[in-house]
Chains A and B, each alone.
Chain A
Amino acid sequence: MKLFDVLLGRTKPAQPNLDHLFGLPGAQITLEASMGLRPTGQAGVCFKPATGQQFAETASEVEQLLDLGDKTKIHDESDSYGYRWAVITDDDFGDLINEVHVVNTTLQDHGWGPQLLCSVFGFAPIPGGASDPAAATGASKVAGTYLVYLYKRGTFYPFVPLPAAEKRDSDRERLLNVTLASDLAMEPDLERWFPLWGLPVH
C-alpha cells in the first residue's frame, strides 16, 4: 500500500487472479494417482452480489452463456452469509474448468471482479478404490473432498468436511496440501483456509 493511499484512507478493491485455475487438470491426475480421488463433475463459483440493476444483468448474462450447452447445468443458490453460488455440473473436468472460467471472466469484464470470493471443485473417492475411506473403514468417514480457489490470492486450499456437524479432517487436508504442492499454488497462510459449511457443491 502506498503512503499516499494510507494518508488518504483509500484502498482499491482487490482484483481476482483467474490464471491459476488452469493448473487444475494436472492436479486432477495427481489426485487420482496418489489419493484415488476423482472430480465429482460439480463446481461452484461463490460471489458477493452487489446492489443495482447492472449487477443483476451481469448475473443473468452468466446463466445465459452457460445454458447454451446441453450437457452443462447451472443453478443459482444463496447461502446463509449473503453470498451467491453459481453451481455448474459437467462430467468433463476440462470443460467444467472452462465453464467456471466463463463465469469468472464475465463478472470481471463487467467490473465485478472484486465481488468474486472463491470457487470450489468437488472430488470423491473412486468407488471401491484402494484409498476409498468407505472401503477402508466400512463407513463413510468423509463427507466430501473439495479444492477451494481463493481468487484474490490466486491460491488453492483443500477442504474436507466430516459428516459430523462442522468438523473438518485436518490431517487429510494437510496430506492433500503436500500432495498438490507441485501442481498448484497452495495457500501458505493456514488462517485463510476458512471452512465452507453447507456447500451447495457435491
Chain B
Amino acid sequence: MMSTVFLLGLLYALFVTVLFLVGVKLVFILVIAIVLLFVQYFYSDRIALYSMKGKIVTSEQAPKLHAVVDRLCALADMPKPQVAIADVDMPNAFATGRDQKHAVVCVTTGILRRLDEPELEAVLAHELSHVAHRDVAVMTIASFLGILAGLLTRVLAYAGLFGGFGGGGGNRGRGGGGGAGQLAILELGMLAFSALVYAISFLLIRTLSRYRELAADRSGAILIGQPRLLAQALVKVTGEMSRIPTRDLRNAEHFNAFFFAPAFAKGISLSTLFSTHPTLERRLQQLTELEAQMGRAA
C-alpha cells in the first residue's frame, strides 16, 4: 500500500515536471495543482466514500450505530456527522470531510461483524476525534505544501540553470545546438532532484499522519473514558487484517489508483497502513499509559 501511494505521488510530481519541461507556464501548473487540491479538499468525503464503496445510512437503517454516534457526539459536544457503512469484509473504519459540518464516519461490515459494541464505540470515538481535529484539512494543506516545495525546487533549479548558461544577450530559448546534450543531462538531474524533494516531503507528511493518529487515539480513549477498549479493538482489527484474503485489499487499492493523491483520502483510517499509521506497539503503549494515568488521578 505504501509503495502504491508513493508511486502515485511520484507520478503526480513527474506529471507536473513534464508539463513544466514541455513549456507549460508555471502559472498554469500551479493552477492545475491548486484545482486538484481543491477538488480533493471539497470532495474528500465523496471521494473516500466512493473508493470504499460506502453508503450513507439513516438512523432507521442502522439504529444501533446511529445511537452510539449520537451519544459520543453529545459527550464530545460536536455536531453529528453522517454515518456510512461499506459492504466490505476488510475490518476498517474511516472519517473524512473537510470540517465538522461535512464529515462522514464510515465503518465496514467487516468491522461491525468482528467487534463487540464497546470496541466499536472506541473505534468510532477515534474516528470522531479525527473529525474534531480537522485532520482532512490539515493533511490536505500539508500535502499541498509538499507539492509546492517540489515545484519551487524545480523553479529555482531552472532559474539557476539559465542564470549559468544563458548569459549572453538575455536569450531565454533552449536553442543552441551544441548545448542540447548537456541540457538534457541537466534536466535529468533536475528531475532526480525534484523526485528527492518529493520523497522527503512524502516522509514528512507520513510522520505528521502518524502523529495525528496517536492524537486521535488519545482523544478517542479519553472521550470514552476507557483506553483499554480502544486497545482491544486495535488488536482485534490488526489481527484480522493480516488473516483475511487479499481480494478486498486489492479492490480497495484499485479504487485508490483512480485518484491523484489518495494519501489522505485513504490515510485517515484505522487500518494498519504502515505508512500512515504508527505501529501497533506504539499505539498500544500510549493507550496503556493513558489507562494507568486515568486510574491514578482524576
Task: List residues of chain A with CB under 8 Å of any chain B CB.
Answer: 1, 6-11, 13-14, 48-55, 58, 80-83, 110-112, 114-115, 117-118, 150, 152-153, 166, 189, 191-192, 194-195, 197
B68 and A81: CB pair below 8 A?
yes
Q: What's the least CB distance linking A48 to chain B, in Å?
A: 5
Given A11-B129, A51-B291; A82-B296 close (CB under 8 Å) = no
Q: A-B pairs with the 6 shortest C-beta distances? A: A52-B295, A50-B225, A9-B215, A194-B70, A152-B77, A14-B77
Number of A-B contacts (CB under 8 A): 106
B133 and A9: CB pair below 8 A?
yes
Is B163 on the interface with A (CB-CB < 8 A)? no
A51 and B226: CB pair below 8 A?
yes
Tally of contact residues, B, Cβ under 8 A = 41
Given A8-B215, A51-B225, A111-B298; A194-B117 close (CB under 8 Å) = no
* A-chain residues with CB within 8 Å of residue B134 when the two chains form the complex: 1, 6
Chain A at the B interface: mostly helix, strand, loop or mixed? loop
A55 and B70: CB pair below 8 A?
no
Given A13-B223, A81-B117; A152-B211 close (CB under 8 Å) = no
* A-chain residues with CB within 8 Å of residue B80 when the two chains form the complex: 191-192
A150 and B74: CB pair below 8 A?
yes
How far, in angstroms, from A49 to B294 measured CA to CA in the complex? 12
Nearest-CB residue, chain A, relative to B292 = A52
5 further interface pairs, Cβ-Cβ under 8 Å (given A52-B291, A195-B70)? A6-B134, A11-B76, A11-B219, A114-B223, A152-B74
B71 and A112: CB pair below 8 A?
no
* A-chain residues with CB within 8 Å of residue B71 when the two chains form the complex: 81, 83, 117, 194
Nearest-CB residue, chain A, relative to B212 = A9
Nearest-CB residue, chain A, relative to B66 = A194
Q: What's the least CB distance linking B99 to chain A, in Å?
A: 10
B295 and A54: CB pair below 8 A?
yes
* A-chain residues with CB within 8 Å of residue B77 when the two chains form the complex: 14, 152-153
